[in-house]
Structure 1
Amino acid sequence: MRKLSNWSPCLNQLRFSVTGLSSGGFTVMLGTAPPYLLSWSAWRLLSTVLPSRLYHTVDDCVYSVYQSMVLFFFENYTGVEIVIYGDIPKKKENVVYLSNHQSTADWIIADVLAIRQNALGHVRYVLKDGLKWLPLYGWYFSQHGGVYVKRSANFEEKAMKKKLSSQIKLGTPMYLVIFPEGTRYNPELQKVINDSQAFAAKEGLAVLKHVLTPRMKASHVAIETMKEHLDAVYDITVAYEGTLTAAGQRHPAPTMPEFLCKECPRVHIHFNRLDMREIPVEPVFFRRWLHERFEIKDKLLTTFYDSEDSEKKCRFPGKSQKSPLSLTKTLPSLLILGGLTLPMLLTESGRKLYFNTWLYGTLIGWVWVSVSP
């Protein structure tokens, strides 16, 4: 320990950050998973004799409790400043949310917007197929209406249509989050960027600098299948402040652990609501339309990274507003889930149930996702 005390201040700061992270965000977010899933499972069992619509209504409420607890750590705890460009509708809408993808924290940004519309429980994701193997969460996201998709030639269009159509028949509120790039943009992975740009050039599309060439399949299937159910498409462009080096080069966006370590001072969110009448249905025209939307994102991000001022702050063009999140939106959820978790951990029988839920819940979830379409 004496050697550690002689290390540089930077390493001491890193140790402090990691300690704060492990004792705060991830510990609670992961630690509350078993009681949350047990509560949801009890409701799922009870709801088998109740109308499906009632099940989904309560499921959305339960889900919003968990996600607002997550936002306690990603907004209130970190103190990150949310800067929004554009006018977010105050009313709830059925939407497809299309965003650029650069960080493991990107899915949180959808929650950031949804909670400001009181639509947090409606958020569902189109996810990479491999994420269905996440312990506990992988299976639950599917139960909440999430869609797992494979890439390229393995994309199962019929399965996605079937899943979304079943949600529409139930009248399920939809805030469907899609990242059309399919993988994260990382300026350090130059081969991925080069391959993406080469694909665009081969297809006669504009070559993009700050985003990857979007793939259309999941977005097109979602919008085509739900076009009568949707109110709009939300076109979102996200930039994390502090990702520009002193030499003016872009470096990777913060990961979830880095975000929780308070390494991102501001998140800039450019919001654009698109009416469904603006979106072409025919695949060839939709592909061109989607690429044009990403050309706009690329220009916005170029402006963002070229606009650094004397205070090392970047911004998107246009008017913006800071949007702090009230503790009243998140703290009650933290107290509820903490209140469910602590009693389990304070008794021997509770701890046994807790760890068995992790073990058997994960195994049952893996069996379920491996046999379900």
Structure 2
Amino acid sequence: MAQLLDGAGELGWVLLKSVIRFVFMVFNNCAAIPSYCLYLVLLQPLRIWDSSAFWHIEGIMFKWLLAMVSSWGWIAGYTVTEWGDDVRPISEEEAMVIVNHQSTGDVCTLMMCLQDKGMVVQKMMWLMDHVFKYTNFGLVSLIHGDFFIRQGKAHRDKQLIYLKDHLEKYYHSRNRKWIVLFPEGGFLRKRRETSQLFAKKHDLPHLTHVTLPRLGATQVILKTLSAQQENGSVSSESGTPNQRGDNKRKGLQWVVDVTIAYPKARPMDIQTWIFGYRPPTVTHVHYRVWTAASAEDQCRQSVLSEARVILFLLVCVFISLPVCLSPLFSLRMYPIKEVPVEAKALTSWLYQRFVEKEELLTHFYDKGSFPSQDGQKEAASRPMILDPVWLCAIQSFAFASAYIWYSVLQYLYCCLF
């Protein structure tokens, strides 16, 4: 009987905690997302006068919104441990990020683990399923310039044309650096059986922890954002002369291979992230980087930039007030020159990356860690830590902004009606 009562008490606490978390997230969204939109409305003159400054500020606010989502999981004990090299030195270089897809929680995991990587998040473009357009974050993603892709044979060809047009229109004009996509085209549990049947039919490797990737979006991105060389690979300059102008862009420099691994192969979905009913979980992250740069300088620059934006937004609001009154993954990196763009060669290259993902995940699920890199006896790991003071500051700014905007709009309503 005592054991039954203890179980009921524990269940009651989990339910109460889930309700409290859900209520907070509703208020958090109602405060942060409208404030984000209203700030951008206020800054429309800046968009006309200096569009690069406008999208820089928008990117920082976008990063803050993603940090709020990250904080929901962080408070519940859902954290990230990183392995391998540091990705921050290339945060200012252009890269295509390919990620395995197990559940809706993959996006939340990426939102968290990239928060401390300089300016990556604010200059990132996401490719995601069109259903995300109808979520609470859909409006923010539309404004930011993310691309929502429809799955299925009936839409495939048209979607690739739309993607090419979208990249040409928004990627360079908004100074995007990283573009994130899930080449598998769906969740592991939904595509695994079909992928294995396809592999068996075409004498391809049998994969359990990932599925064979689809080529379309990857090839469009490489062809659109990088120039093709005579050998069929891509070079490091992209864009038309008009796009490049005087400030010539280097184009895509890297393909970043990200493999998300959950303990005991239990993916975390968005419901878990919101309600927090699963015990604290660590997702492991492995990096492999071939470059040399100062990560500390880039992180310092990012922090100073965000502080300046906070001051700028507050000044904008208070200036406007008189007018109104009288917010475990494994990562490997490949130089873009090593990546073929011709369909057959790119298919082989992409398949090989996912075979490597399969090997990484198999090792992780068997040993509890990722394999060591060449020249290392044992792989080293480090926790990815979010700054609680910074998270509290962002949340406070969001709720303060919501209060200010509510007061302004209420006064305008009273004046008009």
Deviations 1:328-366 (A, max 9, x none): 44322111111122456689938x99xxxxxxxxxxxxx
| Aligned-partner residue type, residue 133 of structure 2 | K
CA distance in 2, matches of 1:221, 1:71: 30
Matched, 1:302 2:362: yes
Deviations 1:89-115 (A, max 9, x none): 323222111111112121123223432
1:158 Cα offset (Å): 2.1
Equivalent residue in structure 2 for 1:237, among 259, 277, 286: 259
- Structure 1 match to 2:311: none
Rate the CA distance shift 1:6–1:116 in 2: closer, same or farther, 3 A: closer
Matched, 1:149 2:149: yes
- Structure 2 match to 1:292: 352
Deviations 1:221-251 (A, max 9, x none): 112211231121111111122xx3xxxxx4x
1:68 Cα offset (Å): 2.1
- Structure 2 match to 1:338: 399
Q: Secondary structure at 2:127's aligned position in 1?
A: strand
Matched, 1:316 2:366: no
CA distance in 1, matches of 2:356, 2:30: 37
The within-5 A match list for 1:177-326 is 177-186=180-189, 192-227=191-226, 228=237, 229-241=251-263, 244=264, 250=265, 252-260=266-274, 261=276, 263-269=279-285, 270-307=330-367, 314-318=368-372, 319=379, 320-326=381-387
Is the contact between residue 21 and residue 257 of structure 1 (CA under 8 Å) also seen in structure 2? no
CA distance in 1, matches of 2:125, 2:355: 26
Rate the CA distance shift 1:220–1:328 in 2: closer, same or farther, 3 A: farther
- Structure 2 match to 1:68: 67
Q: Secondary structure at 1:160's aligned position in 2?
A: helix
1:264 Cα offset (Å): 4.1
CA distance in 2, matches of 1:224, 1:152: 22
CA distance in 2, matches of 1:22, 1:334: 16
Deviations 1:28-84 (A, max 9, x none): 2454222222222322x3235223322222221221222222222222x22333211
Q: CA RMSD in A?
A: 2.8
Deviations 1:234-290 (A, max 9, x none): 11111122xx3xxxxx4x412223134153420112121111112111111111111
Q: Secondary structure at 2:87's aligned position in 1?
A: coil
CA distance in 1, matches of 2:172, 2:283: 36
Identify unmatched segments of 5+ residues in structure 1. 245-249, 308-313, 354-373
CA distance in 2, matches of 1:222, 1:214: 15
Equivalent residue in structure 1 for 2:176, among 162, 168, 173: 173
Q: Secondary structure at 1:162's aligned position in 2?
A: helix
- Structure 1 match to 2:118: 118
Aligned residues, how many?
329
Rate the CA distance shift 1:133–1:20 in 2: closer, same or farther, 3 A: closer
CA distance in 1, matches of 2:132, 2:150: 11
Matched, 1:80 2:78: yes
| Aligned-partner residue type, residue 399 of structure 2 | G
Q: Secondary structure at 2:36's aligned position in 1?
A: helix
Rate the CA distance shift 1:279–1:71 in 2: closer, same or farther, 3 A: same
TM-score by length of 1: 0.79
TM-score by length of 2: 0.71
Rate the CA distance shift 1:257–1:342 in 2: closer, same or farther, 3 A: farther
Rate the CA distance shift 1:223–1:30 in 2: closer, same or farther, 3 A: farther
CA distance in 1, matches of 2:83, 2:346: 25
Q: Secondary structure at 1:81's aligned position in 2?
A: strand
- Structure 2 match to 1:99: 99
CA distance in 1, matches of 2:401, 2:363: 47
- Structure 2 match to 1:129: 130
- Structure 2 match to 1:17: 17
CA distance in 2, matches of 1:226, 1:347: 43
CA distance in 1, matches of 2:168, 2:409: 45
Q: Secondary structure at 1:209's aligned position in 2?
A: coil
Q: Secondary structure at 1:8's aligned position in 2?
A: helix
CA distance in 2, matches of 1:236, 1:6: 41
Percent identity, aligned pairs only?
21
Deviates more, 1:45-54 or 1:282-291: 45-54
Q: Which has the larger radius of gyration?
A: 2
CA distance in 1, matches of 2:40, 2:174: 20
Identify unmatched segments of 5+ residues in structure 2. 227-236, 238-250, 286-329, 373-378
Rate the CA distance shift 1:122–1:347 in 2: closer, same or farther, 3 A: closer
Rate the CA distance shift 1:58–1:10 in 2: closer, same or farther, 3 A: same
Rate the CA distance shift 1:348–1:285 in 2: closer, same or farther, 3 A: closer
Rate the CA distance shift 1:343–1:145 in 2: closer, same or farther, 3 A: closer
